[in-house]
Structure 1
Amino acid sequence: MSATPIVGGFHPDPSVCRVGDDYYLVNSSFEYLPGVPIFRSRDLVAWQLIGNVLDREDQLVLPSSAGSSGIFAPTIRHHDGRFFMITTSINTVSDGHLIVSATDPAGPWTTPVQTRGAVGIDPDLFWDEDGTCYLTWASGWGETPIMQVVIDPGTGTLHSEPRGLSRGTGLAHPEGPHIYRRGDWYYLLLAEGGTERGHTVTISRSRTVAGPYEGNPANPILSHRSTADPVQNTGHADLVETADGWAMVYLGVRPVGPSPSFHLNGRETFLAGVEWVDDWPVVDETAFEVQPRDTSLEDDFPSPELDRRWIAPGRHPREFVSAGPDGGVAIQPSPSPEHRSLLAIRVEDQNWDARATVAAGTARLVLRLDDSHWAAVESQGGAVSARVVMGPADQTLASTPGPGSPDVTLAIRATQPAPEPWGRMAAADNLELGYVIGQDFQVLASIDGRYFSTEVAGGFTGRVVGVEPLPGRADPAILRRFEYRAL
């Protein structure tokens, strides 16, 4: 298989659909706004970010920047000339799932309707040949945690009583359901085993959409549990029919470092081929050759419109970002402690370098996993400092006089350490916090990146890197230029 994701770094829970020659892919976004990034491809291998589905305040508002809150797994489908995206905001889960639609997948998408009476996560939409639309989701409880109901996707109205559809194959946490029809069979694809090392993909089939569903004797059809594969936690998949066959997108992680290994950039999206044998899908992880994407970003903010990659925890960036007084952008401080004014991008690489040129004394460059696990380089009071927050511990590791110029370039770099004897890794990655003079990276502090991994912090997200104002100041952070590149 390819150990290279088609969309790397904190792009979990992929869902895909095909319209003509084009494929469209969406991912979970959790507490970050705008929500649900959407990509387009012609070959399933090379993907371009074309927008974010939930990119307006009338579509989604979050109460805080709390980690792993917000938007859980979405599904994208196309029916009768419209795209539909259904997902769950865990902050309002008791109100049902959110459905939006659009004629153009780049937007605009409609204001959400809610599926009141269908409570849970991981919703899926499926239209049968007679036009009936079925909502299938994971309730998370009961003897049959996979539920189904007939629905009007335009209004969110339920047209039948929700009923139990499946209890899965016996593994933990059956979730991520998707329904498909191929020939005379209906198929139910599930994620099972939990989204950690035991994650799997299973499939069952039935002659009717209502079941009962018979499990594949070869289940699970995809899992890397108890293997030495460089990609682990494989699961939460979606199938798509191509012009000459079928394919599968699924999530996985790339753990590194000493036992138990640590995945640093969140759950990523991978690709496999699918062959059908005796009306069962067989996954071929060698079917596609995936090359690393160009993830570089050089932004001096020439336009009032931000690049599509910019996100923020708990807030839409347009709420607090405006044109700077002399170029660049001004990032306004947050009016409440529940939100951060952090303008960030997802970290997509295992070796990378990020640099932010800011007005001295106004800002910090932050690597964030959540509000309790982050590292920063701060320009404050004529000095540049390296700071880390790990749970209740908040410490300044080093400080030095600043360059004395109106602007300062803050920098964070992550690199994989060389193996020690017997292949042992001393650290998950080396995080270097510092600043730049000329082209020289001046390192203030170096720390083990495991402390900013999911295995340490918990949750479902990955790393982001970006700029925010210094705390306790009323004036904005002035960001002149931002650069990110893979090493």
Structure 2
Amino acid sequence: MIKKTTVLLCGLLLGAISHAQATDSASSATQQEAVAEFNWFEYIGKDRQFASELPDRTYQNPILPGFYPDPSITRKGEDYYLVNSSFAYTPGLPVLHSKNLVDWQLVGHALTSENAIDFTGLELSRGIFAPTIRYHDGLFYIITTAVDAGGNFIITAKDPAGPWSSPIWLPEVGGIDPDLFFDDNGKAYIAHNDAPPEAPLYDGHRAIWLWEYDVKQQKVKAGSRRLLINGGTDIAEQPVWIEGPHIYHINGWYYLTCAQGGTSVNHSQVVFRTRSLTEEFVPYQHNPILTQKDLPREKQVVSATGHADFIQTAEGDWWSVFLATRPYQDDHYNTGRETFLLPVHWEDEWPHILPPGETVPLTPRRPAIAPDINTKQPLARNFSWRDEFSGRRLNPLWISVKDFARDWVSLSNGVLQLHPQTASLRDLGGVSYLGRRQQHQRFTARTQLAMPASDTAAGLAVYQNETHHYQLLLSENITNDAKAYQVSLYKVSPTGKALVAQKTIDKPASAVVLQVDVDGSKAYFSYQQDGQNTPLGEAQDARHLSTASAGGFVGATVGMMALQADNQSTH
């Protein structure tokens, strides 16, 4: 009896263990099924502006088309390095390299999972604002602002490709857009935008302040704060949004150049100078030295110029990088604020970038420093870019939203896997999305994906921000017919997520291609199954993806997304 009971208990115990293992396996299988698999992604730029051959010894403006705003530049020997604002995209602070100021290649990011800053809960246009990059005494420095995520900080690196240090926070330094200036006498200074010394006299009244910075102690010197500019070039005229300061010491003069007028159509670049940082900065009587605001709107092929930084080549020539936009149809632009390049000319010991009333040239003469460079990852002109996901690491051009960890991404045997999270692109975090910058007003983007499991919806997104984007999704048919799938097009706006068009695929297939074609103000969505292309819905309004419609400071991205199928209609 005892033996029978023991055998029975052992059997029950083994049964329970087997049942638990089976349950765990089933749970594991379910978790494994919650994945979207993409075989490749392709982006093809088709801008008419970039279609013709460049005249001899010229280059194309913008040098960095697409969402590359607030450029800052430095030089080490014959190598130039540039960094841009990244806001709440991750990884943050893209670092680019060039030998000739014209052809640039992404070499890394200064903010990665190793020195991440928490962007949880931020809107997309918060986070990292206008950085400054400088090379000094064997070390690269980036100083910038994490808006609503800690304030101003400095990071350093021996190699600009990384790794970069953990943030050195500057709690005393308020405001945004800090600049780091190393003087010839061994001293260092931080200039930045902040509130004026008194209550603001008008909307947009700001000021530029200066601190002395102790490089060894890695902190500002107590009591060193002083006012440089109150309001702007002439406070009696109520100039607005003085920001983006940079200081240079050239031929006995200290020059301070700033953006003024806001980053829209009134954006401009102004300059001041003084013989000593302890004396008053005097504004140039012929300011601004760069703007397009004085041109009729119909002639503004390029608009919103400003946020300039200067660089001197080894040959002694001066150049400026700055942001600008390429608008269409009354100042709409989906490509965001882009990086442009122009020479700096000196007259009466004052810098000039562009004479008043002149349009920004799109094909200026090249710098006389280096030949063309064939980059592996083209960032300018028309190009075709295809990712087969064949490497062990994700291509650095892919960016995501507020998430440095990316534990929802995996690469396996030439397949990109996205594991859907609980949130989607309408939320402020926890979204499974990988995008690349829209760099052309006219482009095609497409991706091939396997048929997702019943608990997953996946596809293509054209994304401006949380409240302005399109989703083209593939999922199982809501009738739960295992042999049927549906392709759905959604438009996300401030009022919610609306179904625009939907079609059922009647037979199973191994893979489907989802595609978007954008031509200025129009976006066309389609899908391809068994080699046949099928449009989905009518032409959509691409102005919905523009900064003029969505607000904020970012440009549109296009890429791949995954979400839980039961959240498809609401997320």
TM-score normalised to the size of structure 2?
Answer: 0.76
Q: Which amino acid aligns with 1:413?
A: D
Equivalent residues of 1:276, 1:282 under 8 A apart: yes
In 1, Cα distance between equivalents of 2:210 and 2:531: 58
Equivalent residues of 2:70, 2:307 under 8 A apart: yes
Matching residue of 2:396: 308
Matching residue of 1:397: 500
Equivalent residue in structure 2 for 1:431, among 519, 523, 548:
523
In 2, Cα distance between equivalents of 1:294 and 1:105: 27
Matching residue of 1:231: 302
Deviation at 1:327, TM superposition (A): 3.8
Matching residue of 1:409: 513
Within a 5 Å distance, the mapping from 1:463-482 to structure 2 comes to 463-472=556-565
Could you list the per-position Cα deviations for residues 180-227 of structure 1 after superposition, in whole angstroms to 9, with x for gaps in the alignment?
Answer: 010110000000000010000000000012331111111000000141
CA distance change for structure 1 residues 211 and 305 in 2, over 3 Å: closer, same or farther? farther
Equivalent residues of 2:115, 2:165 under 8 A apart: no
Q: Secondary structure of the residue that 1:451 maps to in structure 2? A: helix
Matching residue of 1:349: 440
Q: Does 1:241 align with 2:312?
A: yes
Could you list the per-position Cα deviations for residues 269-318 of structure 1 after superposition, in whole angstroms to 9, with x for gaps in the alignment?
Answer: 00100111110012155553599435532112112211110110111263
Deviation at 1:104, TM superposition (A): 0.7
Equivalent residue in structure 2 for 1:147, among 209, 221, 226:
209
Matching residue of 1:21: 78
Q: Report which stretch shifted further, 336-345 or 118-127.
A: 336-345
Could you list the per-position Cα deviations for residues 5-30 of structure 1 after superposition, in whole angstroms to 9, with x for gaps in the alignment?
Answer: 10011110000011111111100000
Q: Report which stretch shifted further, 145-154 or 268-277.
A: 145-154
Equivalent residues of 1:373, 1:391 under 8 A apart: yes
Equivalent residues of 2:325, 2:338 under 8 A apart: yes
CA distance change for structure 1 residues 151 and 289 in 2, over 3 Å: closer, same or farther? same
Matching residue of 1:163: 226
Equivalent residue in structure 2 for 1:442, among 529, 534, 539:
534
- CA root-mean-square deviation: 2.2
CA distance change for structure 1 residues 269 and 317 in 2, over 3 Å: closer, same or farther? farther
Deviation at 1:450, TM superposition (A): 0.8
Q: Which amino acid aligns with 1:172?
A: V
Deviation at 1:473, TM superposition (A): 5.8
In 1, Cα distance between equivalents of 2:197 and 2:188: 24
Equivalent residues of 1:386, 1:434 under 8 A apart: no
Could you list the per-position Cα deviations for residues 140-171 of structure 1 after superposition, in whole angstroms to 9, with x for gaps in the alignment?
Answer: 44457101101134654111322211122142
Equivalent residues of 1:199, 1:233 under 8 A apart: yes
Q: Which amino acid aligns with 2:320?
A: M
Q: Which amino acid aligns with 1:436?
A: Q
Matching residue of 1:102: 157
Deviation at 1:65, TM superposition (A): 5.6
Q: Which amino acid aligns with 2:552?
A: G
Matching residue of 2:145: 88
Matching residue of 1:423: none
Q: Does 1:134 align with 2:134?
A: no
In 1, Cα distance between equivalents of 2:273 and 2:525: 52
Matching residue of 1:267: 337
Q: Report which stretch shifted further, 239-248 or 194-203.
A: 239-248
Matching residue of 1:299: 387
Equivalent residues of 1:222, 1:283 under 8 A apart: yes
Q: Report which stretch shifted further, 390-399 or 23-32.
A: 390-399
Equivalent residues of 1:34, 1:55 under 8 A apart: yes
CA distance change for structure 1 residues 153 and 388 in 2, over 3 Å: closer, same or farther? farther
Structure with the higher fraction of residues in helix conformation? 2
Q: Secondary structure of the residue that 2:502 maps to in structure 1? A: strand
Q: Report which stretch shifted further, 329-338 or 247-256.
A: 329-338
Q: How many residues align?
A: 458
In 2, Cα distance between equivalents of 1:386 and 1:134: 52
Larger radius of gyration: 2
Q: Report which stretch shifted further, 159-168 or 214-223.
A: 159-168
Equivalent residue in structure 2 for 1:366, among 461, 464, 470:
461
CA distance change for structure 1 residues 439 and 216 in 2, over 3 Å: closer, same or farther? farther
CA distance change for structure 1 residues 181 and 415 in 2, over 3 Å: closer, same or farther? same
Deviation at 1:176, TM superposition (A): 0.2
Deviation at 1:338, TM superposition (A): 3.5
In 2, Cα distance between equivalents of 1:440 and 1:280: 61
Q: Please list every run of 5 or more consecutive structure 2 residues that lacks an aligned counterpart in the other structure.
A: 1-57, 199-205, 355-359, 373-379, 477-484
Q: Percent identity?
A: 35
Of structures 1 and 2, the one with the larger relative CO (CA 8 A, separation 6+) is 2
Q: Secondary structure of the residue that 1:71 maps to in structure 2? A: strand
Equivalent residues of 1:9, 1:267 under 8 A apart: yes
In 1, Cα distance between equivalents of 2:195 and 2:381: 36
Matching residue of 1:175: 243
Equivalent residues of 1:122, 1:138 under 8 A apart: yes
Deviation at 1:442, TM superposition (A): 2.4
Matching residue of 1:460: 553
Q: Which amino acid aligns with 2:474?
A: S
In 1, Cα distance between equivalents of 2:340 and 2:194: 26
Matching residue of 1:322: 410
Q: Which amino acid aligns with 1:283?
A: I
Deviation at 1:415, TM superposition (A): 1.2
Matching residue of 1:386: 489
In 2, Cα distance between equivalents of 1:154 and 1:9: 38
Q: Please list every run of 5 or more consecutive structure 1 residues that lacks an aligned counterpart in the other structure.
A: 417-428, 476-487
Q: Report which stretch shifted further, 447-456 or 284-293.
A: 284-293
Could you list the per-position Cα deviations for residues 241-282 of structure 1 after superposition, in whole angstroms to 9, with x for gaps in the alignment?
Answer: 11331000000001102xx33011110000100111110012
Deviation at 1:229, TM superposition (A): 2.5
Q: Report which stretch shifted further, 135-144 or 109-118.
A: 135-144
Q: Secondary structure of the residue that 2:351 maps to in structure 1? A: strand
In 1, Cα distance between equivalents of 2:91 and 2:279: 37
Matching residue of 1:41: 98
In 1, Cα distance between equivalents of 2:65 and 2:212: 35
